[in-house]
A and B are shown apart, each in its own frame.
Chain A
Amino acid sequence: MSLDERALHELLVESEDLHSDAMRTTRESLRDLVALGAGALAAGGLGRAVLRFFDTPAFAKESPDIQIMQTAASIENLAVSTYDAALGLPFMAGVPVLVKTFMMKTKDQHAEHGRAFNATATRLGGAAQNGPDPELKKVVDAKLPTLKAPGDVVDLAITLETGAAQTYVANTAALNDVDARKVVASVMGVEAQHISILNAVQALLGTPDLLTLPPPASRLPAPAGSVGFPDSFLKTEQARPGDEGAIK
C-alpha cells in the first residue's frame, strides 16, 4: 500500500490533538467537580482519586491484580500475627471462652485467606507475599504496647478487620481477573462478620455471662440486635491502597 507520508503524519498529529483535547477537557471537568464537591466529599477522597489518576503512567509497571492480591495477603499476614500476639497477652487469659475461641478461629481463617490470596497471586504470575502490610503494621506496632485490657484488643482487631473488609470491597470492583475477584469477594463478607461479632463482644464485655453460645437472648440489651452492623452498605473509606502491601 502506498501512502503520502505527510498526510499520514498529519492524520497522526490530528489524532494526538483530539486525544489531548479530550483528556484536557476531562481534566478540567474533574477539577470543576473537585471544586464543587470538596465540601461534601470525604476528606481528600476525590482529590486522591484524581491525583492518583494524573500520577498514574499510561502503562503500569506491573499487573495491578498481582499487587492487589499481594496487598490482600499482607493484610492477612498482619492479622494472623496480631491475633497471635494479642492472644498471648496476660489479661486475655480472663476473657470469656467464646471470645478466646472466636479469636483463635478468626486467626486461622485469616491464615486461610492469606493462602488463598497468595495462591491467586502466584497463579497470576506474581510472587507470594509472606510479609505484613507495612502501613498497617505501623498502626499495630504503635498500638500493641498500649493494650491494657480486652476492650483494647477488640478495638485493634476491629481496626484491622475493617481495613481488610473495606479493602476487599474496593478490590472487588478493581480487579480485572474474574477468578481473583471471586476469591476476594468470598473473603470480604467473612471479615465483615468478624467485625460484627467483635462489635457485639465489645458491647457485651461488661456482662461476660451474655457472651456464651447461645446467649440468654431475653437478657440481651436491645441495642445488641443492631450493634453488629452499623451500616447498610459496607463502606470503602478505610480501604488500603491496592499496591500498599505489594512486593516492591
Chain B
Amino acid sequence: MSRRRHKEMQISEGELRSMTGDLEEVHQASLAPLGNAVAEWVDLNRSTTRRRFLLGAAATGAGAVLVACGDEKKTVRPTTETTVGATGSLSGDLRIAALAASLENLAIGTYQAALDATAANKLGGVPPAVVTFVETAKRHHGEHAAAWNAILTSAGKTRVTEPDQAIKGQIDGAFAQVRDFAGLARLALGLENVAAATYLDGIGVIQNNQALKTAASIHPVELQHAAILNFVLGNYPVPDAFAKTEGARPPTDYPG
C-alpha cells in the first residue's frame, strides 16, 4: 500500500477481517513471550520463604493484567480464567487451590497429632529420624497451605483453614489405630501419595499459570516425603518410573 495513493480501495469484508486477524496475531505473538518473561520474573521472586512467595503472588496480578489479552492457548494464562461461580462459590482453579489447601491442612493436623502422640509416649519409641521427618514434613505442608491460600486471597477469596472433610474421618480413624512409628509412617505415606496424586491430576487441568507453577513445585516435594517414608518402611523408595494420579482427590472434596 502506497502512502501517496489516497483513492478508494476495493476490498472484501472477508479480506479485511483476514488482514485484521493477521495484525491481531502479530500483536498476540509479541505479547505471549512478554507474558512468559513476566511470569518467569514472578517465579524467580517466589522463593522458599513465605514472604517472598506473597510478593510473587502480588506481582502475578500485574503479570496477569499484561497477558489478559493474550491468546488463551499460549503458555501464560490470565487470572480471569480462574472462575468464580455465579453464586460466588469457588470453581475452576480456585476450587483446586481450595482443595489443595484443605489437603495440606489435613496433613498438618495429622502430623501434629503424631507429634502430640509421640510426646505423650503413645506410639512407643519413635526414632529421632522419624520425629525429624514429621516435624519437617509438617512445616513443608504449612508452607504449601500458605501458598495456596495466598492464591485464594489474591483472588479475593477466603483462606481455607479446615482439613479436607471428605477424607478427614477416614484419616482420623486410621490414626486412632496407629500404635507405633511404622504404622504412623504407613499412614503418612498414604497422605503424601494422595497429595502428590492430587497435584499431578490438577496439573493436567489448571489454567492459571501461577497455580500451575505452585502445583508443579509442590508435587515433587510430596513425592520426596513419600520416598523417605518408603525407605524407612523397607519398601523400594522410588517404586514407579512415572508418578501416578491414582488416589487423587477430586475438586468436589471442597464444597463449591
Q: Is A232 a contact of B204 with CB atoms below 8 Å? A: no
Q: Is B44 a contact of A225 with CB atoms below 8 Å? A: no
Question: For the complex, is B83 an interface residue (Cβ under 8 Å from A)?
Answer: no
9 closest A-B pairs by CB = A214-B234, A225-B132, A192-B220, A225-B133, A53-B37, A189-B223, A220-B129, A222-B128, A5-B9
Scoring B residues 30 to 44 as 1 if CB is less than 8 Å from chain A, else 0, what string do you get? 100110111111011
Q: In whole angstroms, how far apart are the Cα atoms of A226 and B139 in the complex?
A: 11
Say yes or no: A19-B27 contact (C-beta < 8 A), given A3-B9, A218-B127. Answer: yes
Which listed residue, B13, B44, B209, B219, touches A188 by the CB 8 Å rule? B219
Question: For the complex, is A39 an interface residue (Cβ under 8 Å from B)?
Answer: no
Q: Is A185 a contact of B243 with CB atoms below 8 Å? A: yes
Question: For the complex, is B68 an interface residue (Cβ under 8 Å from A)?
Answer: no
Question: For the complex, is A159 an interface residue (Cβ under 8 Å from B)?
Answer: no
Say yes or no: A3-B11 contact (C-beta < 8 A), given A53-B33, A173-B75, A221-B129. Answer: yes
Question: For the complex, is A12 an interface residue (Cβ under 8 Å from B)?
Answer: yes
Q: Is A109 a contact of B241 with CB atoms below 8 Å? A: yes
Question: For the complex, is B253 an interface residue (Cβ under 8 Å from A)?
Answer: no
Say yes or no: A228-B224 contact (C-beta < 8 A), given A6-B6, A172-B216. Answer: yes
Give A residues with C-beta under 8 Å from B: 1-6, 8-9, 12, 15, 19, 23, 26, 30, 33, 37, 40-42, 45-46, 49-50, 52-53, 56, 58-59, 102, 105-106, 108-109, 112-113, 116, 165, 169, 172-176, 178, 181-182, 185-197, 200, 213-215, 217-226, 228-229, 231-237
Which listed residue, B16, B37, B200, touches A1 by the CB 8 Å rule? B16
Q: In whole angstroms, how far apart are the Cα atoms of A6 and B8 in the complex?
A: 8
Q: In whole angstroms, how far apart are the Cα atoms of A137 and B226 in the complex?
A: 30
Q: Is B37 a contact of A30 with CB atoms below 8 Å? A: yes
Q: In whole angstroms, how far apart are the Cα atoms of A188 and B238 in the complex?
A: 12
Q: In the assembled complex, which residues on chain B have CB atoms less than 8 Å from the CB atom of A196? A: 224, 227-228, 237
Q: In the assembled complex, which residues on chain B have CB atoms less than 8 Å from the CB atom of A3? A: 8-9, 11, 16
Interface size on B, residues (CB 8 A): 87
Which residues of B159-182 have CB atoms within 8 Å of chain A's CB atoms? 181
Question: For the complex, is B10 an interface residue (Cβ under 8 Å from A)?
Answer: yes
Question: For the complex, is B147 an interface residue (Cβ under 8 Å from A)?
Answer: yes
Question: For the complex, is B225 an interface residue (Cβ under 8 Å from A)?
Answer: yes
Question: For the complex, is B125 an interface residue (Cβ under 8 Å from A)?
Answer: yes
Question: For the complex, is B155 an interface residue (Cβ under 8 Å from A)?
Answer: no
Question: For the complex, is B196 an interface residue (Cβ under 8 Å from A)?
Answer: yes
Q: In the assembled complex, which residues on chain B have CB atoms less than 8 Å from the CB atom of A175? A: 75
Say yes or no: A185-B73 contact (C-beta < 8 A), given A2-B10, A232-B48. Answer: no
Q: Is A224 a contact of B129 with CB atoms below 8 Å? A: yes
Q: Is A192 a contact of B224 with CB atoms below 8 Å? A: yes
Q: Is A229 a contact of B225 with CB atoms below 8 Å? A: yes
Q: Is B132 a contact of A224 with CB atoms below 8 Å? A: yes
Q: Is A189 a contact of B44 with CB atoms below 8 Å? A: no
Q: In the assembled complex, which residues on chain A have CB atoms less than 8 Å from the CB atom of B11? A: 1-3
Q: Is A193 a contact of B231 with CB atoms below 8 Å? A: no
Say yes or no: A116-B242 contact (C-beta < 8 A), given A1-B11, A3-B9, A173-B212. Answer: yes
Say yes or no: A197-B16 contact (C-beta < 8 A), given A106-B238, A220-B129. Answer: no
Q: In whole angstroms, how far apart are the Cα atoms of A58 and B217 in the complex?
A: 29
Q: In the assembled complex, which residues on chain A have CB atoms less than 8 Å from the CB atom of B231? A: 197, 200, 213-215
A-B contacts, 26 of them at CB < 8 A, read A2-B9, A2-B11, A5-B1, A9-B1, A23-B30, A30-B38, A40-B45, A53-B34, A112-B241, A113-B241, A172-B203, A173-B213, A175-B75, A181-B203, A182-B204, A185-B204, A189-B222, A190-B223, A200-B228, A217-B129, A223-B129, A225-B128, A226-B135, A229-B224, A234-B216, A237-B44
Q: Is B29 a contact of A59 with CB atoms below 8 Å? A: yes
Question: For the complex, is B130 an interface residue (Cβ under 8 Å from A)?
Answer: yes
Q: Is A52 a contact of B37 with CB atoms below 8 Å? A: yes
Scoring B residues 99 to 137 as 1 if CB is less than 8 Å from chain A, else 0, what string do you get? 000000000000000000000000001011111111111
Q: In whole angstroms, how far apart are the Cα atoms of A154 and B172 in the complex?
A: 39
Q: Quick one: closest A residue to B4, CB to CB?
A: A6
Q: In the assembled complex, which residues on chain B have CB atoms less than 8 Å from the CB atom of A108? A: 241
